[in-house]
């Protein structure tokens, strides 16, 4: 997100609440320039361009700026209570500025080694992102995404092992969508939980109708980890493109370039009511969720978790 939109969004949030909130940023490395690889991936997609009658040259090379100086300046002014990063941490000088502004810093680990690295580099909280989680894997120490995906840990294994490995509090993420999941995460040693997919169905969320529809039909075994939509592994509700080009591919170009190549196809398909080329991010807990306003969902989750704690002790 460009820095001026970050500033605008934080301003809008402040107008809605005086409570603390969390702003999240991607801090990926810029894609390597590799024209041959990019052309090969575009070639892989050309039959779809033909099929949908989309001009092959209509895709622009997507630039998704990672957390940078301009965005950091916005954060220093706005001082959100919590700043989280995905794909590791930004360069040390930027991180130091965020911390000096008084923001608590969190980042996600998909392995014990990543949790230890994050603690050593100064995070206040580690998020243990289980294999079940929807959206992008935080994976940042691995060099081979295929290998990393085949050795990802489920939350039941990852959470207690991260808790044992670091001193900072651990927040659990992945397939937590009701009071049972919250109680389980705390049983495993988590100090908090991060809930994603369940809130995507709230009327307040900007989730597009096609994505809502997919979440309504998702079952735990209809989601897969795929890198063909964006260039990095992400858990999505599977669709035609993921099935045909993936789920994992060695040929895909660097994040976020595949997203740019996909945009014209996605737009054309979505116009026709199809999510065949859309990134339908979804966790494995999707089918535990149902549409509910955010406030009542939050209250229900807390009540369910507290009831669960009491049931377990009796």
Per-residue contact flags (x/-) with a copy of itself for residues 232 to 251, judged by CB under 8 A: ------x--------xx---
Q: Does 116 bind a copy of itself (CB under 8 A)?
A: no
Give the helix, strand, coil percentages of the chain, each rounded to 5: 45, 10, 40
165 by Cβ neighbours in 10 Å (0-12 / 13-18 / 19+) ranks as middle
Q: Applying CB under 8 A, what is the total number of residues that bind a copy of itself? A: 52
Least Å distance between CB 274 and a copy of itself?
A: 21
Among 69, 56, 163, 186, CA closest to 112? 163
Q: Does 7 bind a copy of itself (CB under 8 A)?
A: no
Least Å distance between CB 304 and a copy of itself?
A: 11
Specify the stretch interacting with a copy of itself by CB under 8 A; choose among 43-51, 94-102, 111-119, 199-207.
111-119
When binding is defined by CB under 8 A, the residue of 135, 174, 233, 275 that contacts a copy of itself is 174
Nearer to a copy of itself, 71 or 284 (CB): 284
Nearer to a copy of itself, 17 or 143 (CB): 143
What sign has the CA pseudo-torsion 163, 197, 277, 65? negative
Least Å distance between CB 224 and a copy of itself?
A: 5
Q: Does 189 bind a copy of itself (CB under 8 A)?
A: yes
* Residue 139 Cα to chain centre, angstroms: 11
Per-residue contact flags (x/-) with a copy of itself for residues 121 to 140, judged by CB under 8 A: ---------xxx--------
* Most distant CA pair in the chain, distance: 65
How far apart CA 199 and CA 54 sit, in angstroms, is: 34
Specify the stretch interacting with a copy of itself by CB under 8 A; choose among 5-13, 39-47, 153-161, 259-267.
153-161
End-to-end CA distance of the chain: give it in Å, rounded: 48
DSSP collapsed to 3 states, 148-216: HHHCCCCHHHHHHHHHHHCCCCEEEECCCCCHHHHHHHHHCCCCEEECCHHHHCCCCCCCCHHHHHHHH
Least Å distance between CB 24 and a copy of itself?
A: 22
Least Å distance between CB 193 and a copy of itself?
A: 11
Q: What are the start-end ranges of the E strands in the chain? A: 22-26, 82-86, 104-109, 125-129, 135-136, 170-173, 192-194, 223-226, 234-237
When binding is defined by CB under 8 A, the residue of 52, 74, 214, 224 that contacts a copy of itself is 224
Among 108, 104, 267, CA closest to 196? 108
Q: Does 151 bind a copy of itself (CB under 8 A)?
A: yes
How far apart CA 201 and CA 212 sit, in angstroms, is: 6
Nearer to a copy of itself, 188 or 280 (CB): 188
| CB contact set of 79 (below 8 Å; sequence gap of 6+) | 101, 102, 103
When binding is defined by CB under 8 A, the residue of 89, 283, 297, 301 that contacts a copy of itself is 283
Least Å distance between CB 279 and a copy of itself?
A: 17
Per the CB < 8 A criterion, the answer to whether 234 and 298 are in contact is no
Specify the stretch interacting with a copy of itself by CB under 8 A; choose among 10-18, 29-37, 157-165, 254-262.
157-165
Which position has the token pair 């065949």? 276
Chain positions contacting a copy of itself, by CB under 8 A: 111-113, 130-132, 150-158, 160-161, 164, 174-176, 178, 180-181, 183-189, 219-225, 238, 247-248, 283-285, 287-288, 308-310, 312-314
């Amino acid at each position: 997100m460009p820095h001026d939109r970050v500033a605008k969004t934080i301003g809008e949030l402040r107008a809605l609440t005086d409570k603390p909130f969390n702003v999240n940023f991607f801090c990926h490395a810029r894609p390597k320039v590799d024209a041959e690889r990019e052309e090969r991936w575009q070639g892989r997609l050309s039959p779809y361009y033909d099929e949908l009658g989309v001009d092959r040259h209509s895709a622009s090379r997507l630039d998704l700026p990672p957390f940078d100086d301009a965005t950091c300046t916005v954060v220093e002014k706005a001082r959100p209570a919590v700043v989280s990063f995905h794909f590791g941490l930004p360069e040390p000088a930027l991180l130091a500025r965020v911390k000096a502004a008084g923001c608590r810093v969190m980042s996600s680990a998909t392995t014990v080694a990543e949790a230890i690295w994050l603690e050593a580099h100064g995070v206040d909280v580690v998020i243990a992102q289980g294999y079940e989680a929807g959206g992008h894997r935080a994976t940042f120490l691995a060099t081979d995404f295929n290998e990393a995906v085949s050795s990802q840990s489920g939350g039941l294994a990852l959470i207690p092992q991260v808790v044992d490995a670091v001193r900072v509090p651990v927040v659990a993420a992945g397939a937590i969508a009701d009071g049972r999941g919250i109680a389980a995460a705390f049983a495993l040693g988590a100090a908090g939980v991060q809930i994603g997919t369940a809130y995507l169905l709230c009327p307040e969320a900007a989730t597009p109708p096609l994505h809502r529809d997919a979440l309504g039909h998702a079952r735990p075994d209809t989601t897969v980890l795929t890198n063909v939509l964006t260039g990095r592994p992400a858990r999505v509700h599977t669709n035609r493109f993921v099935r045909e080009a993936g789920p994992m591919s060695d040929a895909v170009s660097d994040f976020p370039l595949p997203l740019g190549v996909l945009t014209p196809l996605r737009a054309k398909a979505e116009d026709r009511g199809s999510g065949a080329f859309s990134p339908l991010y979804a966790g494995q807990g999707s089918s535990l969720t149902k549409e509910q306003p955010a406030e009542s969902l939050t209250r229900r989750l807390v009540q369910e978790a507290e009831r669960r704690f009491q049931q377990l002790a009796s």
